[in-house]
Chain A
Amino acid sequence: MRMRRSIWFWLQLAFTLCVCAFLIVPVVLSMLAGVTQNYFIGLSSGLTTQWVVKVWNDYRAPVLLSMQIAAACLACNLVLGIPAAYVLAKRQNAFTRAIEELLVMPVAVPGIATALALIVTYGSAGGFRTHWTFILVGHVLFTLPFMVRSVLAVMMSIDLTTLEEGARSLGANFVQRFFGVILPNCRAGIVAGALMVVTLSLGEFNMTLLLHTPLTQTLPVGLADTYASLRLEVGSAYTLVFFVIIIPLLIAMQWASNVASRARSV
């Protein structure tokens, strides 16, 4: 059946395309600016990799530190988040709901407030303040709710009790059940949560600006630095580096959440 599209369809399509252009055009522009000889003159000034090379030479350390923090943050989330999600899935009562509510608080409270709270409490603990794990703590707090919720959503949709009973009746102890039955069944939720955690950690700025020290500069803090003090091409080249890292993750995330929601709806 082929329906003739009404005028309303085309108007709404045009509107939606405008919204899309608003979001995507600046991304494309900044990517182009990052490889343009002189953005003020335009593309006719020629393409160059000199800005990207400059960024890589000057800002390699923050980029690598951000990756290190994101990886460590993911590890912490797996160790802390999955068991917590399991408990929340097994017991549904006022107490666990209160825990869930509390866990989401670091997302509800602005990052700058959490960072300030961490600094006034642990800022004087010399070695810790200047160590990269100080930033890690902030990132773990901020990302944990996303991992817990993602895993919890999958756990709630599968029949956890029956699966566990089955394994138990076959003689599996808790460790065997957890690693052999529960984790494989929550794969979709864990993958979706993990991608979210890594993406958020790589881009976290609101907390990190206060938590970082000159020796523990992260990728987004470096970005703010180039935006404020260097020419547009360098800022663009650095943004290009960031996009090259983050956009594949974002696309993978969309794919993973589609898989997870399909798994849930079955």
Chain B
Amino acid sequence: MRERTLLIALMLPAGIVFAAFFLLPLAQLVVIGGSGKLGWAAYAEVFSGTHYLMSFAQTIALSAAVTLFTLAVSGIAGVFLERNRFPGHSVLTAMLTLPLAFPGVVIGFMVIMLAGRQGLIPDITDKLFGERLVFAYSMAGLFMGYVYFSIPRTILTVMAAAEKLDPRLEEAARSLGAGPLRVVRDVMLPALKPAFLAAGAICFATAMGAFGTAFTLATRINVVPMVIYTEFTLQANVAMAAALSFVLGAITWAALAFARSLTGSSVAAAG
């Protein structure tokens, strides 16, 4: 009984901060979302107003494309790094995970360095074809930036999952006459599927909520976080911004809850 009191006392500081600065504000956000001139219809407006619906559709399409592309790239590189040891292996792994905590704004700038007006890729296309290919400020630039911050996150998950693959299964498949592509398709991919789904869901949720990259690139593409920012700062439409935030938060939260349900209790039992 005494121990119970103690445990409650230990949880209390975090609990109070969390309730006061997260749960209460989030509840307030929901209420504010329904308090504009549209009232609760603001939430319906999110799904019926073409402007907002288009923005959600674009953001979801972009995030889904980024997720698929990132999974393919990280899948190949991650399995390769886990399976092979060679000089420079650990440096290569460290470099691939280095941008893990780069903020979105910096990643936007990395895209400018690569594909902006004075970027590397326009320089190369200029030398090769006599034309500067500048795409940093278009959908392609945004895609590039999102892939940039997604790769380090997914590659670690893929490597951890590839570690648990049993090479004997692949050998068995090979000895039965399966070619390399069949081994990948019928043996490795099914075993990696849970990790891919979990990593993909995290990647998708991060891309949906990403803001800094789009902010730096200042594209005309209206990803949802940019729309929220514009509604709040330029239009001073707090209610609409709140409603959009809530719907966006619900989508990303659902994607992550899906990821956690797949990995099961592995987070709690990381031992």
Binding site for B on A (CB under 8 A): 8-9, 12-13, 15-17, 19-20, 22-27, 29-30, 33, 39-40, 76, 79-81, 83-84, 86-87, 90-92, 97, 99-114, 116-118, 120-122, 137, 140-141, 144, 148-149, 152-153, 156-157, 174, 196, 199-200, 203-206, 209-210, 220, 223-224, 227-228, 232, 235-236, 239, 242, 246-247, 250-251, 253-254, 264
Known: A120-B29, A250-B98. A29 touches B80 (CB 8 A): no
Pair A206/B211 contact, Cβ less than 8 Å: yes
Chain B interface: which size bin?
Answer: 35 or more
Selecting from B13-21, B39-47, B48-56, B186-194, the interface stretch reads B13-21
* Contact bitstring B21-65, A, C-beta under 8 A = 1, else 0: 111111011001000000000000000000000000000000000
The answer to whether B1 has its CB under 8 Å from any CB of chain A is: no
Pair B109/A239 contact, Cβ less than 8 Å: yes
Pair B104/A25 contact, Cβ less than 8 Å: no
Pair A15/B105 contact, Cβ less than 8 Å: no
Closest residue of chain A to B11 (Cβ to Cβ) is A87
- Chain A residues closer than 8 Å to B225, beta-carbon distance: 110, 112, 206
**Distance of A6 from chain B, by nearest CB (Å):** 9
A12, A39, A174, A251: the one within 8 Å of B94 (CB): A251
- Complex Cα distance A25/B80, Å? 21
B15, B32, B210, B252: the one within 8 Å of A120 (CB): B32
- Chain B residues closer than 8 Å to A140, beta-carbon distance: 17, 21
Pair A103/B109 contact, Cβ less than 8 Å: no
A25, A105, A109, A203: the one within 8 Å of B120 (CB): A25
Closest residue of chain A to B148 (Cβ to Cβ) is A23
- Complex Cα distance A80/B19, Å? 13
Of listed A19, A80, A236, residue having the most chain B CB within 10 A: A19
- Chain A residues closer than 8 Å to B212, beta-carbon distance: 205-206, 209, 220, 224
- Chain A residues closer than 8 Å to B32, beta-carbon distance: 120
Known: A105-B253, A247-B98. A83 touches B232 (CB 8 A): no
Closest residue of chain A to B17 (Cβ to Cβ) is A80
Pair A117/B245 contact, Cβ less than 8 Å: yes
Across the A-B interface, the 5 shortest Cβ-Cβ residue pairs: A110-B209, A113-B245, A117-B25, A203-B103, A83-B10
**Distance of A76 from chain B, by nearest CB (Å):** 8
**Distance of B261 from chain A, by nearest CB (Å):** 11
B84, B94, B118, B267: the one within 8 Å of A149 (CB): B267
**Distance of A29 from chain B, by nearest CB (Å):** 5
Known: A108-B205, A141-B21, A156-B270. A209 touches B102 (CB 8 A): no
**Distance of A42 from chain B, by nearest CB (Å):** 9
A81, A174, A227: the one within 8 Å of B108 (CB): A227
Pair A30/B110 contact, Cβ less than 8 Å: yes
- Complex Cα distance A203/B26, Å? 23
**Distance of A242 from chain B, by nearest CB (Å):** 7
Pair A110/B269 contact, Cβ less than 8 Å: no
Contacting residues of chain B (192-242) with chain A, CB-CB under 8 angstroms: 205, 208-212, 215-216, 218, 225, 228-229, 232, 238, 241-242
- Complex Cα distance A67/B113, Å? 26
Known: A20-B96, A29-B113, A110-B209. A83 touches B21 (CB 8 A): no
Known: A91-B7, A116-B29, A206-B104. A156 touches B95 (CB 8 A): no
The answer to whether B177 has its CB under 8 Å from any CB of chain A is: no
Pair B77/A99 contact, Cβ less than 8 Å: no
- Complex Cα distance A240/B58, Å? 33
The answer to whether B180 has its CB under 8 Å from any CB of chain A is: yes
- Chain B residues closer than 8 Å to A109, beta-carbon distance: 26, 209, 249, 252-253
- Complex Cα distance A174/B7, Å? 11
**Distance of A101 from chain B, by nearest CB (Å):** 8
Besides A16-B76, A16-B80, 7 more A-B contacts (Cβ < 8 Å) are A20-B96, A29-B113, A80-B13, A81-B14, A110-B208, A117-B26, A223-B105
